[in-house]
């Protein structure tokens, strides 16, 4: 960049966002809804370009239909009408081998582009690694949501640190009056249900918590992940319900298959005594559920996946090993029976919460968008000022 050119970064930005969108049930769709609301609240324009669920679409404005080269060209043209294109990425969203169809779209972009990496695989297959490397190489910046993700991307994928921007996942920060919680303490897990969520771990320790005052209940909220449902229906949920029955705790474990809007979800989280994230994962670098729990100032018990280690090590929760049921039971019991400890964890979470407010996240995306627009303008000025080599005779 030429030192003679300043970077004017004050005007609103026209963002084009490629993502799954409601009514699709997935975390990326929820994220894009929250992000677009935050960007618009700051005066930016946002054009949401939907990744279609199937090959049938009636949208006159164009959607990305996996397997359709025509839709790739149409969506690229639509995104090119924005100032900055934001590409949401998670494995499984795009067509082709390990989602490699998205590369054709990214390569067709003429405006500055940002890749939002919701996953950075620790042990990718060779082609998965290649897809990530190509996406990073052909976009202007990569946004990650945790320091663990940034470290992994730079260390394991060889990405230059200057290209990686850490902007946290957004959450709805609770700012209302403290709510009176129900007399029966609630242990809460929510999100899309599928094997790997570790619900069984909590069910298996519920019998040891029945002596706690108020007889805690475990509430699991969320629909079955659509990809899981397509393959196995509600088999995972039914297996968990059967497990609770066999363990004799069916009256202390309940499943709520509804999908909550933002306000209802906030009320649900506020009603809980503790949020538990008992995931099987050892490499998850971004968790929207964890961020929402922190944003709502709730104590958290979680297995030590990287994002949980990053956010809870300061005192906002307790980390327990994946296969240590005694530690899980002990952590839940401590929070449920020691008000001072639970209060200290909630206070630490509230200290962290402002960093995850959607307003802060939207501001960071806006600043990045303004910088990319300014950098592109300066680069074009510098390119136009380079003398053209003379090939003809002087006259």
Whole-number mean pLDDT of the chain? 91
Residue 99 CA to residue 121 CA, distance in Å, equals 14
In this prediction, residue 385 carries a pLDDT of 66
Same-domain check for residues 347 and 362: no
In 3D space, the residue among 55, 161, 165 whose CA is nearest the CA of residue 113 turns out to be: 165
- Assess if residue 3 is contained within a domain: no
Same-domain check for residues 155 and 196: no
Q: Could you report the per-residue pLDDT of 203-261, keeping only the tens digit for each?
A: 999 999 999 999 999 999 999 998 899 999 999 999 999 999 999 999 999 999 988 88
Query: How does strand 217-221 pair with strand 253-256?
Result: parallel
6 pLDDT tier (thresholds 50, 70, 90): very low
Same-domain check for residues 37 and 96: yes
Same-domain check for residues 166 and 250: no
Q: Could you report the per-residue pLDDT of 175-211, keeping only the tens digit for each?
A: 877 777 778 899 999 999 999 999 999 999 999 999 9
The average pLDDT across 344-354 equals: 97
CATH assignment at residue 292: 3.40.50.2000
pLDDT at 394 over 50: no
- Assess if residue 195 is contained within a domain: yes
Same-domain check for residues 372 and 348: no
DSSP assignment, residue 207?
G
Global pTM reads 0.90
383 pLDDT tier (thresholds 50, 70, 90): confident
Domain's final residue, options 354, 370, 389:
354
Same-domain check for residues 152 and 207: no
Q: Could you report the per-residue pLDDT of 44-73, keeping only the tens digit for each?
A: 999 999 998 764 444 445 689 988 899 999
Q: Structural domain of residue 325, as residue ranges? A: 186-354
pLDDT at 395 over 60: no
pLDDT at 391 over 70: no
Residue 313 CA to residue 304 CA, distance in Å, equals 10
pLDDT at 379 over 90: no
Residue 16 CA to residue 369 CA, distance in Å, equals 11
In this prediction, residue 61 carries a pLDDT of 53
| DSSP-based three-state secondary structure for 213 | coil
- Assess if residue 159 is contained within a domain: yes
Same-domain check for residues 221 and 323: yes
Q: Could you report the per-residue pLDDT of 109-164, keeping only the tens digit for each?
A: 999 999 999 999 999 999 999 999 999 999 999 999 999 999 999 999 999 999 99
Number of domains in the chain: 2
Consecutive H or E run containing 15: strand 14-19
């Amino acid at each position: 960049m030429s030192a003679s050119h300043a970077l004017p970064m004050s005007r609103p930005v026209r963002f084009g966002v490629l993502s799954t969108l409601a009514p699709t049930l997935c975390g990326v769709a929820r994220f894009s809804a929250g992000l677009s609301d935050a960007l618009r609240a700051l005066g930016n324009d946002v054009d949401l370009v939907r990744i279609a669920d199937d090959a049938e679409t009636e949208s006159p404005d164009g959607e990305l239909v996996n397997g359709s080269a025509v839709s790739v060209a149409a969506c690229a043209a639509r995104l090119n009408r924005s100032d900055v294109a934001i590409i949401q990425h998670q494995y499984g969203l795009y067509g082709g081998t390990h989602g490699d169809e998205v590369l054709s779209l990214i390569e067709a972009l003429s405006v500055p582009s940002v890749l939002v990496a919701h996953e950075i695989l620790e042990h990718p297959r060779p082609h998965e690694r290649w897809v990530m490397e190509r996406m990073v190489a052909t976009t202007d910046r990569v946004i990650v949501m945790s320091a663990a993700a940034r470290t992994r991307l730079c260390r394991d994928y060889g990405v230059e640190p200057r290209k990686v921007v850490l902007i946290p996942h957004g959450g709805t920060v609770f700012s209302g009056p403290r709510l009176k919680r129900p007399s029966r303490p609630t242990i809460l897990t929510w999100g899309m249900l599928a094997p790997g969520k570790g619900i069984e771990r909590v069910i298996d320790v519920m019998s040891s918590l029945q002596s706690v005052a108020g007889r805690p209940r475990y509430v699991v909220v969320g629909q079955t992940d659509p990809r899981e449902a397509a393959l196995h229906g509600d088999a995972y949920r039914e297996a968990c319900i059967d497990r609770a029955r066999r363990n004799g705790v069916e009256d202390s474990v309940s499943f709520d298959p509804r999908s909550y809007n933002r306000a209802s979800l906030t009320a649900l989280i506020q009603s809980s005594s503790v949020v538990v994230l008992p995931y099987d994962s050892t490499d998850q670098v971004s968790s929207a559920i964890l961020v929402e729990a922190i944003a709502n100032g709730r104590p958290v018990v979680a297995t030590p996946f990287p994002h949980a280690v990053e956010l809870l090590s300061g005192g906002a929760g307790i980390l327990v090993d994946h296969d240590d049921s005694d530690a899980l039971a002990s952590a839940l019991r401590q929070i449920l029976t020691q008000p001072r400890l639970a209060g200290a964890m909630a206070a630490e979470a509230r200290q962290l919460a402002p960093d995850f407010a959607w307003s802060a996240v939207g501001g960071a995306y806006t600043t990045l968008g303004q910088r990319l627009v300014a950098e592109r303008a300066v680069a074009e000025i510098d390119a136009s000022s380079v003398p053209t080599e003379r090939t003809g005779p002087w006259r």
